[in-house]
Amino acid sequence: MKKIALLVVALAVGASLLTAQEFVSDVSKKGTTAATFLSIGQGARASAMGSAFVAVADDPSSIYWNPAGLASVDGYGFVFDHTRWIADIQYNFIGATIGIGRIGVLGLSLTASNVGDMRVTTITEPNGTGETFGVSDVAFSLAYAVRLTDAFSIGFNPKFVYQKIWKMSASALAIDVGVKYETPFKGITLGMAISNFGGKMQMTGNSALVLYDPDLESTGNNGRIPAELQTDEWALPLNFRFGIAYQPVISAEHKIVLAVDALHPGDNYESVNVGAEYTFNDFISFRGGFKSLFLKDAEETFALGIGLRQNLMGNIAIRIDYAYSDFGRLKNIQKFTVGMTF
């Protein structure tokens, strides 16, 4: 037990040290990271609870929120999540888990965007040149979680991140690390996770190739020297979450989950998410929450959702979840998730 406590403390201290450098001033670093799509929550259940899920994580979407939560998934699991994001951008998330007995649980995930082709425009051709270009966001991960004791689990989620716009692309490797601890206090669980700790991303490609004139005032030099523009490197959206969940014992038919998450992101100020879930007879769930509390100028406010669960042939469970999140001036975000465990 002492070793577990030391591990939890070490993770918390390590996360603070890793992110402390991001908060050396009072200036927000919003918009200064690459691959910001990694900050889009996956799974309608978690989103409907105001994204307060790091200590709740107990289904295949835990790959995103807290990889340690995968240790709670028995057998095999699958989840498909579709997000209708801002500006008609859509994201799809696929996650799968495989239980390997006492050794632990493996997880696979793929996140990909669907933006659609856009017209190439220039100053001289504002209506389009006839060419089109595309934009892609992709993240692939392989997670692993294990229970070190009946009450404590730890998980890791290495990932490959890739972004492309027209003829330019960038990639990076990163990792998520999480822990989950069921305290001696009945119904209370603690969770912590560090997300997107890894290298920086730098765009490279044919669009950076140009013809350069090193001396504009001279007419006798070569004014068409092949050159390549160099773009800056940008860090991934590092984030540290700490959460607590409480599941009071009511009855077999009525279940309640209350959750609170504190966030310490590397590209914004700290904030708090709160959420709740009520489930009747393990069949229908109603969820709600508030996101980005205490965050100045936040557009995100409340979230609501509903979920259905149906057991088939004893060991197969199918879940369908929906979430609605208010984004203020940016209107709303909707998520649809279908999952299965067996």
Are both 59 and 166 inside the same structural domain?
A: yes
The helix/strand/coil state of 2 is: helix
Domain total in the chain: 2
- The predicted pLDDT at position 339 comes to 95
Does a structural domain hold residue 30? no
Does a structural domain hold residue 33? no
User: For the chain, what is the largest distance between any 2 Cα atoms, rounded to a whole number of angstroms?
Assistant: 88
Q: Are 110 and 139 in contact (CB under 8 A)?
A: yes
Domain boundary among 215, 235, 255: 235
Residue of 268, 231, 225, 261 whose CA lies nearest to 243 = 261
Domain boundary among 235, 258, 284: 235
Are both 217 and 334 inside the same structural domain?
A: no
- The predicted pLDDT at position 182 comes to 95
Give phi and psi for 202, each to the nearest 5.
-135, 125
Are both 53 and 190 inside the same structural domain?
A: yes
Residue 119, beta-bridge partner list: 132
The number of CA neighbours under 13 Å toward the Cβ of 52 is 31
Indicate whether this model's pTM tops 0.75: yes
Q: Are 62 and 76 in contact (CB under 8 A)?
A: no
Are both 118 and 192 inside the same structural domain?
A: yes
Does a structural domain hold residue 151? yes
Does a structural domain hold residue 326? yes
Dihedral sign (CA 83, 303, 175, 75): negative
- The predicted pLDDT at position 207 comes to 83
Does a structural domain hold residue 98? yes
Q: Tell me, what CATH number does 108's domain have? A: 2.40.160.40
Given 3-state DSSP classes, what are the helix, strand and coil percentages for the chain, each rounded to the nearest 5?
A: 15, 50, 35
Residue of 292, 173, 168 whose CA lies nearest to 236 = 173
Which residues of the chain are under the pLDDT cut of 50?
Answer: 6, 9-10, 13, 16-25
Does a structural domain hold residue 16? yes
Does a structural domain hold residue 311? yes
Are both 125 and 231 inside the same structural domain?
A: no
**CA gap 154, 132 in Å, rounded:** 45
Q: Are 171 and 160 in contact (CB under 8 A)?
A: yes
Domain encompassing residue 254? 2-25+40-196+238-341
Are both 269 and 153 inside the same structural domain?
A: yes
**CA gap 190, 288 in Å, rounded:** 20
- The predicted pLDDT at position 13 comes to 46
- The predicted pLDDT at position 78 comes to 95
Residue 326 C-alpha from the chain's centroid: 18
Are both 265 and 244 inside the same structural domain?
A: yes
Residue of 303, 255, 311 whose CA lies nearest to 279 = 255
- The predicted pLDDT at position 164 comes to 93
Are both 214 and 163 inside the same structural domain?
A: no
Are both 147 and 167 inside the same structural domain?
A: yes
Does a structural domain hold residue 32? no
**CA gap 68, 192 in Å, rounded:** 9
Are both 148 and 223 inside the same structural domain?
A: no
Are both 106 and 73 inside the same structural domain?
A: yes
Are both 259 and 229 inside the same structural domain?
A: no
Domain boundary among 235, 257, 292: 235
